[in-house]
Amino acid sequence: MQKHEPGAVPPGFILLESKSTDRTELLFMLQQGVYIPLPETPVPGRVSVTSFLLRVLNLDDETFRDEIKTMMLNNMVVDNPDRTDLKRNDVLIVSGAMPGLVGAMLRSDSPIKVLRSTISGENLKESENSSLVGDESPAFIRLKAFNTVLRNHMDDILRYGVYIGIDDEQTT
């Protein structure tokens, strides 16, 4: 995996800068998803959902557990973010608590998670091309943030450094 150099914009991407973009447009872009380079880690090729979000959202572990109630990776609920690794091109959705039965059912490690067994992260299958090891291009994941996570951490996400795909720019 090639290390992403700060300030170097990979081909096909545009660096999103908060100073030059309307706040309403930024909210929309963060809900649609922005690309974030995966950080270097002590174990090459392994970045857990928890460690990624702690860095990007600038959180400590306790605040993370209090604020992030729903996490979905590639449309599958993540019940154990400490043991779920991110891979190149994954889509990670994060949200605070959502109301109602559906919100309770989608909540990570919910007591009623049995009702969503077909969309649980336990059913995630590794794709052949998803590894972080051995590929020389920078590894990115697409992060989508909603409700309290978006409202409370938009500036943290932007400070970390986010990109939008050139194709995404043309559709917004």
User: How far is 33 from 141, CA to CA, in rounded Å?
Assistant: 9
Which pLDDT value is given to residue 48? Answer: 93
Give which of 110, 109, 107, 89 is closest to 97, Cα–Cα.
107
Structure tokens belonging to residue 162: 């986010």
The whole model's pTM is what? Answer: 0.78
Domain extent listing, the chain: 15-125+143-171
User: How far is 166 from 106, CA to CA, in rounded Å?
Assistant: 32
| Residue ranges of the chain with per-residue pLDDT less than 70 | 1-8, 18-21, 41-45, 101-102, 105, 107, 109-137, 168-172
Which pLDDT value is given to residue 139? Answer: 84
Contact 30, 154 (CB under 8 A): yes
pLDDT in tens, 118-161: 555 554 444 333 444 455 567 899 999 999 999 999 999 998 88
